[in-house]
Chain A
């Protein structure tokens, strides 16, 4: 599977990259096999990633979606060589991340979750020195920095110290910096966490343009709507495992339910109440789950379900505290996979 496309691209030098549509038979950007990481702490072993298998073709924008602490950052850390796996294997651009970390680092651009800009340097210098770390001469590096600054709308901040940038500017500079050497794969760890909505949409636009140019991208996010808006394919991750992966549509279909109706009562739901509604087994209704003070129904035919749950509660002397009907979305996918609400 070692990518002939990668070699061809290197051989072609400056030739523009093929667009994803034309990428039939293209190489694999990222592949992992049973990738694992267990941290050893004073309180014992803490498994952060418990066997993840990924296969991301070149040119794809792939998302790892999951709540905080799901193991996304650890996974990205292993793929970018800064975290050593404790099991399994991983390849980026066909190169083993453990056997040849330098080879991997030459081929990747990384936007870290933290602001890891060089705080002792200006905006321009951050880009220049990163270019020089990747082997460009000083003059070439200055040219590349100027080009990146213009493209990322940082023209009026070129001489500002990295410490003086706003959150959005810093994030744009981090992305620009990750692109100095035309990486084969771009990694972004929570690229829009903590940004205001407008800045977030601007960053989405940047990522879309990069993706349209055939840039392979892996991003992690805990925002459902971000994954839904940007990604070709998504892996839903929780507790260090991939719960499901596919396109958004595939994920929605895969859950076998379209709408989630949740009713929360004043007190704990007694045994048998859910069964007593007769919803289970009704055509168009998938699962019926009881979770302490609430009942959750996954249904493709949602009509009448809510009324049934309220009536069943009333028969058992339970008042309804609140009720919600979630349209099919990644959130309902997550609910269905884990049996609990998404915690951001």
Chain B
């Protein structure tokens, strides 16, 4: 490959054993003499770390894709194809929709697919955020501590935490987008969701903040959870967050169970589902946008701060 030294030869007595395997000698001497002078900057290092994430994603593209597609595909298939076919399809009509402020021609009934689109996207955001950040982190902190590889890069440790949040957010964002083509294609006749984007900028803002929020939460979980108790993440966090996260029903429809409607306000998933509902399916009632954005942005800041802090503490002994 790269031709090496002619001028630099190692001094005599370098004690080579002439092993073919490890060619100690002029090549290695040249490595020192001919080394490029690195000029790392925060931006270059950060960019390289992101590039590394995308290389890994590309390498694992099949499993990444499966992870992102299977859940929404099956959900949509069962709820908007199987259930309507066997007569079990249910509608959010009458009281719920009316109370939610739906009006006009479509106000009579909202099919379940319409409810499910934003909810499923929010659910994907959470799932992908956790999968992309928490699980790899647990591996990196396990006994070989491969995290030290990246920790020795010339940036402060908290930047590494921010980088992990950013990379996770990209995956989370893409994971949510995958829901779109699936719901548009998979459904029984007449069960198509009524999706109508009123404000694209707002949609992107909500998706972006929600992605950052879930991966910041992923970083926090990955650094505070005991690796041996990772199953707990599913049982104690993912499952309740999803089931009580307004994925399968709009928040406004919960007014019938007032205590639960109030209780689930502590769940960030609620604001993700409702935010997407507001911009994707305006025919369904949703909570006020100021509340949604306050929680999404505030939650991202809070989890981001706590996550990078616990991350730095875990990396530095």
Contact = CB atoms under 8 A, between A and B. Distances in A.
Whether both chains belong to one complex is answered with yes
Interface of A: 10, 13-14, 16-17, 19, 39, 77, 80-84, 101-102, 105-106, 108, 110, 112, 114-121, 125, 129-136, 138, 140, 143-144, 146-153, 168, 172, 179-182, 198-199, 201-206, 208-210, 212-215
B154 A102 contact: yes
B2 interface: yes
A147 B45 contact: no
B2 A150 contact: yes
Contacts of A136: 36, 38
Contacts of B174: none
A105 B152 contact: yes
Contacts of A121: 52, 55-56
B28 A135 contact: no
Contact of B36 (A83, A116, A119, A144): A144
B21 to A, nearest CB: 5
Contacts of B29: 209, 212-213
B28 A110 contact: no
A125 B148 CA distance: 17
B37 A198 contact: no
Given A17-B33, A101-B156, A208-B15, 12 more contacts: A83-B316, A84-B316, A116-B148, A121-B55, A121-B56, A125-B52, A130-B153, A132-B45, A147-B2, A181-B40, A206-B24, A213-B29
B38 to A, nearest CB: 4
Given A116-B144, A133-B154, A215-B32, A147 B4 contact: yes
Interface string B24-48: 1101111111111111110011011
A210 B32 contact: yes
7 contacts: A77-B317, A106-B38, A115-B146, A118-B146, A136-B38, A210-B28, A213-B33
Q: Chain B: interface secondary structure?
A: loop
Contacts of A77: 317
Contacts, number: 198
Interface of B: 1-2, 4, 8, 10-11, 14-17, 19-25, 27-41, 44-45, 47-49, 51-52, 55-56, 59-60, 143-156, 315-317
Nearest to A207: B24
A179 B32 contact: yes
Contacts of A179: 31-32, 35
B57 to A, nearest CB: 10
Given A110-B152, A133-B45, A150 B33 contact: no
Q: Which 6 A-B pairs have the closest CB atoms?
A: A182-B35, A135-B40, A132-B48, A151-B27, A202-B22, A205-B24
A210 B30 CA distance: 10
B53 to A, nearest CB: 9
A39 B317 CA distance: 8
A151 B34 contact: no
Contacts of B15: 204-205, 208
Given A147-B31, A151-B30, A209-B28, A202 B10 contact: no
Contacts of A110: 148, 152
B8 to A, nearest CB: 7
Contact of B22 (A106, A118, A153, A181): A153
A228 to B, nearest CB: 14
Contacts of B44: 132, 135
A151 B38 CA distance: 20
Contact of A206 (B22, B30, B48, B147): B22
A210 B14 CA distance: 10
A133 B153 contact: yes
A152 B23 contact: yes
Contacts of A180: 35, 38
A116 B145 contact: yes
B51 A132 contact: yes
A160 to B, nearest CB: 13
Contacts of B34: 14, 147
Nearest to A19: B11
A159 to B, nearest CB: 12
A164 to B, nearest CB: 14
Contact of A153 (B8, B23, B150): B23
A101 B152 CA distance: 10
B48 to A, nearest CB: 4
B99 to A, nearest CB: 50
Contacts of B38: 106, 131, 134-136, 180-182
A148 B31 contact: yes
Given A205-B17, A213-B29, A120 B2 contact: no
A140 B152 CA distance: 20
